[in-house]
A and B are shown apart, each in its own frame.
Chain A
Amino acid sequence: MSKNPAVMSTPDRASNPPLEVHDLTVAYDQKPVLWDIDFELPDGSLTAIVGPNGAGKSTLIKAAMGLIPASSGYTLIYGKPLDKQRQLVAYVPQRESVDWNFPISVMDVVLMGRYPHLRLFQRPRREDREIAMSVLAEMGMDAYHKRQISQLSGGQQQRVFLARALAQDANIYLLDEPLAGVDAATEEVIFTKMKELRDGGKAVVVVHHDLQSVPGNFDRAMLLNLRMVASGPVAEIFTDENLQKTYGGRLNILSQMIEESRQQRFVREADS
């Protein structure tokens, strides 16, 4: 994101990890929501970001993608700054983030995934439509390509979002709660697809709400609660102690400080 010595180093696809995030701190209205996050991901990995509500899970991937301003920190993609490598990253926002009554068809949404491969103002080509149809078929949604998006169930909408990410043909996939409120069939389709991507050498990061299903489905995890409690292979970091630290009471010094700074702002406002 910002200028950093690390940016200057020669980017080498072979030796640099697909995604690294360094010193990431995010604050809303002065209130810190993420503290000094550092992590990197290897190729061919499937990582769950877990943590309690309000732990900053979605904020982490949004800030890593530069969608919300960070107070500090930067993201490297294969050792190069994010803005030069965006075509290598596919981001799937939360389903609730868009208006599903928007007058647009399933096909049109998936075609948006092809936009990074098109020039500005260039119309999608036939080849893009073919790719869109094939990724829709992979998600079991090809029969719905002409539907208006409001006529889909929640699970189907999520599949369309995932199809759009697949159409991007990226190396890194960042998915924000793709399994929230979807039906069992969709959940299976999505899990299968994510594992397929991992086996194909892609790095997949998923904001996930269900702690139970992490060990069976993911190989890495990040335990997040405002700061990174632990990050690494699930087998190593899913310890009672770490989980307790992540989900346990909020009365640690950090959250006290956060509360403090919130109050400070409150006072400052009352002054003005």
Chain B
Amino acid sequence: METLIEFFSLQDPNIRYVLAGTILLGISAGALGCFAILRRRALVGDAVAHAILPGVCLAFIFAGGKDPFMLILGAFFFGLLSMVTMDFISRNSRIAPDASIGMVLSVFFGFGVVLLTFIQTTGFVDQSGLDDFLFGQAAAMVGDDVLVFGGLSAMILVVTIIVFKELKLVSFDPSFAQSIGYPVKRMEFLLALLMVLVITAGIQAVGVVLMASMLIIPAAAARYWTDSLRIMLLIAAGVGALSGVTGSFISYTAPAMPTGPWMVVSAAFVFFLSFLLAPGRGEIARYFQKRNFSHKVACENILKTLYSMEEEDGRTDRVRPGKELRKRRHLTGRTMKQVLSSLLRRKLITYYGGTPDGYMLTPAGRKEAKRLVRVHRLWEQYLSQHLQIAEDHVHEDAESMEHLITSEIEAQLRTSLGSPELDPHKSRIPYDTDESKPSGSAAEEDSKKSLAGKAGYKPGEKGKGGAS
């Protein structure tokens, strides 16, 4: 707790520097990462990040020790070289892009490890801090480093904001961009350049092994929350900054601990939360959407069952026992209870507590049931008439489509079929014009009203218990 206060009070100027550096890096990597994942170049980023290790090692050798300018120069050169190599391989050979990415990643990184071992074993250069470039060490950043790496991040961010409109166009529809004379090739090169630069900016704080995840994870998390590229960039930048803060805090409290993994873990944590909680797209929201839909389907099936029972004996005045409904629909007791109480609540059915007790459709419920039966039969008719599907094959399909057919599609079906009277099984298609009767005569309708008024058929408003 004390360290937490000490850290965030920002008394120590070095903490301020380190924090500023990692936040800037997180923001620029997050924002730029959005373009990387939308253009499906995330893996390229990973390859570039690994491929800059030889550049880092050569910078150590030439400078005789750690020198931020040499580091950036070396890293940038090798980053660019790896990108050009990948491009060259996939352009001039039959090797698929994923294979060329994998090759460049491992070959460059392998070469880097060779150089690293060479420096460590010969010891002719000051190798202190060299290990930090594998997994990052934000706390090792001192004045100059922060100025250089942070400045680089800030510059990338500014450029990204300036060319946002152009990057958006080129990422979404490059051939259209080309058709209006946009310099697509140059924009793509600029984007690649920015990516190499942001990876270079991250070698001290995050390290080459994990830098790509600072491009990918915040952007992937951000995609869950929005459908706007601008907001996606903002969220990704925020997630990046947050991971930067976490990473540098850990780096400060446990100096032996590499920063990169902690930044990645905290970004991944945000991703996990997004994956679960994001409205609409998150797993939890999707679970409820799915559950709501299957509840809707179950409700609609009960309405339909009640209606078809009315159709069978031609009577709308009969109370239908819950037991029989369950037998026909094969629902568990629990589901049945939920479905019936929801239908009662929406006043689509009523409960009568006499002997036998049971349920009846209300006029509103009958209207809805009729609609379902109607779209079911219209769909069957459509399948058999327009798609020449055999009569005995159309029912199953209609069973699922009836829950999805909107009123617009229903109208289109009716126009295209000319509001037919019968479905392929010669069942009558019920339209709203023929009042609330499924079939039979108007006399029965009257008798229903008088029957329902008689003793023994008491409307039970809170008849939830009647499900079993």
Where the two chains meet, the residues of A that have a C-beta atom closer than 8 Å to any C-beta of B are: 62, 65-67, 83, 86-87, 89-91, 93, 97-99, 102-105, 108-109, 112, 115-116, 120-124, 148, 150, 164, 168
Residues of B within 8 A of A115 (CB): 165, 169, 180, 182
- List B contacts of A98 (CB < 8 A): 172-173
Q: Is B48 an interface residue (CB 8 A)?
A: no
List the one stretch of B220-228, B237-245, B313-321 in contact with chain A.
Answer: B220-228
Within the complex, which residue of A93, A105, A122 is in contact with B227, where a contact is CB–CB below 8 Å? A105
Would A62 and B175 count as touching, CB distance under 8 A? Answer: yes
Q: Which residue of A97, A102, A103, A121 contacts B175 across the interface (Cβ within 8 Å)?
A: A97
B169, B179, B226: the one within 8 Å of A67 (CB):
B179
Is residue B191 within 8 Å, beta carbon to beta carbon, of the partner chain?
no
**Chain A residues in 8 Å Cβ range of B229:** 102-104, 108
Indicate if the CB atoms of B165 and A89 lie closer than 8 Å.
no
**Count of CB-CB pairs between chains A and B under 8 Å:** 73
Complex Cα spacing A120 to B162, Å: 10
Q: Hey, which chain A residues are within 8 Å of B169, CB to CB?
A: 112, 115
Q: A105–B228 contact, CB under 8 A?
A: yes
CB distance from A169 to the nearest CB of B (A): 12
Q: Report how far A51 CA is from B178 CA in the complex, Å.
A: 26
- Does B163 have its Cβ within 8 Å of any Cβ on chain A? yes
A148 — which chain B residues lie within 8 A by C-beta?
Answer: 227-228
Residues of A within 8 A of B232 (CB): 103
Closest CB in chain A relative to B249 CB, distance in Å: 31
CB distance from A125 to the nearest CB of B (A): 12
A–B complex contacts, Cβ < 8 Å, 21 sampled: A65-B178, A66-B178, A67-B178, A86-B180, A87-B181, A89-B179, A91-B175, A91-B179, A93-B179, A98-B172, A102-B38, A102-B172, A103-B38, A104-B172, A104-B228, A108-B168, A115-B165, A115-B182, A116-B181, A121-B162, A124-B165
Which residues of B sit under 8 angstroms from A102, Cβ to Cβ? 38, 171-172, 229
Complex-state Cα separation, A104 to B228, whole angstroms: 5
For the complex, give the distance between the alpha carbons of A103 and B169 in Å: 12
A115 to B228, CA, bound (A): 19
B166 in the interface (beta carbon within 8 A): yes
Set A66, A87, A123, A164: member contacting B165, Cβ < 8 A: A123
Residue of B nearest to A98 (CB): B173
Given contacts A108-B168, A116-B180, A121-B163, 11 further A-B contacts (CB under 8 A): A62-B175, A86-B181, A87-B181, A91-B179, A97-B173, A98-B173, A102-B229, A103-B228, A120-B166, A122-B165, A148-B228
Task: Tell whether B118 is near chain A: CB-to-CB under 8 Å.
Answer: no
For A165, give the chain B residue with the smallest CB separation: B176
Contact check, B172 vs A99: say whether CB atoms are below 8 A apart: yes
Q: What residues of chain A lie closer than 8 Å to B226, measured between beta carbons?
A: 103
Render B118-141 as a binary contact track against A, CB cut-off 8 A, 1 for contact.
000000000000000000000000
